Every structure is written in C-alpha cells, then in structure tokens.
Amino acid sequence: MNPVMAWHEEHAYFSRLLQVLQEEVDRLYAGGTPNYDLVLDIVFYLRDYSDQVHHPREDEAFKRLARRSPELRPILVRLQQEHRVIAQSGDRLRELVEEAASDAVVPRADIEAAAWTYIVYYRNHIATEEMEVLPVAARSLTEEDWQAARDVAPPKANPLAGEDADDRFRRLRRRIAGETPAPRSASTTPTH
C-alpha cells in the first residue's frame, strides 16, 4: 500500500477509536458507568500498536522530512514531542480505568480529565499530521525514506486491520465499524 495511504488509514482507525472512547467518557460524565473493558481495549490498542509501531515510524519519517522541508521543522518537532505526551496520558488513563474497573474508588473527574487530555491531544495531533504533514510527505519523501520509516519498528500487522486478530480486536473492529454495539462492562460500581 502507498505509505501515505497506509498512514491515513491508520489515522482513520485511531480517530474512530477516539470517538468510541469519547462516547464512553460522555456516559461517565452523564453519571453512568462506562464500558471499562472497551475503554481498556482502546487504550491498549493505541498504546501497543500506535505507540510501538505507528509513532516510531512517523518519528523517522519526520526526521527525514525535516531535512527535505525545513520549513516544517517546528511542526515536526512539536509532533514528536506530542508522541511522548500522548503515550504518558494514555498510561495515566489506563491506570485510572484499571483501578475503576477493579472496583477501586476513583473520582469520575480524574478519569474524565485523563480521558479528555488523551482525546484532545490525540485528535489535534492527527489533524495536524493530516493537514500539514501528509501532503508534504507525499511529495517529498522517497521510497528509501519510507522504507527507513518502516524498518524502524518491528513488522507488526495492525491488529484491527487483519482477519487473524484475536477476539478482543475483532469485537473492537466491529464496534468502530458500527456493526455491533459494545457489550456492557461487568463492573457496574459507580465511581465518585
């Protein structure tokens, strides 16, 4: 697949996951109990695949793009820094949701703040890449550049894209495709 199209396709998956995550946070804000299992699956996927494969590849592409298009350097540096912020905020969100899912008392406001930090950073990050970086990358990066970016991360298939995904990711893929509603979490203990 064309590397720019692959990058765009992954961003589309990430955006749909962030929308589902927002729906669960909205449920929490409204006084309900979110599907903690679903939230954890989303954060796990985004931390595992995105932060371990997608973002390192982007970082390499950004380095190469900065040499070819120096006018983008400030944006590219900021995007690389945002990869670290997204990773840290994802870890914090995962910790809070794991605690809440195990019936620990976790203030709703803490989960909401962590989730919104994650969602807002991630959405803005994707938008910047889509609008300001991908068009220039499509014109400027060579096949050698794209191959170097692919080689930075292990050859790992996107678990949401393949038919050989485990049950958790098949359910998550169906959920983001709008095929089925998400199952309710077993935990129904509200947080404070």
pLDDT score for 162: 62
Query: For residue 86, is it within any domain?
Result: yes
Q: What is the count of structural domains for the chain?
A: 1
Range of the domain at 22: 3-176
Mean pLDDT over all residues of the chain?
87
Helices (H), the chain: 3-29, 36-45, 55-68, 73-101, 108-128, 134-140, 143-152, 167-176
Q: pLDDT tens digit string along 92-102?
A: 999 999 999 99
When pLDDT is cut at 50, 70 and 90, the band that residue 188 belongs to is: very low
pLDDT score for 176: 74
Q: pLDDT tens digit string along 101-135?
A: 998 999 999 999 999 999 999 999 999 999 999 99
When pLDDT is cut at 50, 70 and 90, the band that residue 190 belongs to is: very low
Query: For residue 12, is it within any domain?
Result: yes
Vertex 83, ends 65 and 118: CA angle to 5°? Answer: 140
Query: For residue 40, is it within any domain?
Result: yes
Greater model confidence, 76 or 182: 76
CATH number at residue 165: 1.20.120.520
CB atoms within 10 A of CB 21: 22
Query: For residue 190, is it within any domain?
Result: no
In this prediction the pTM is 0.85
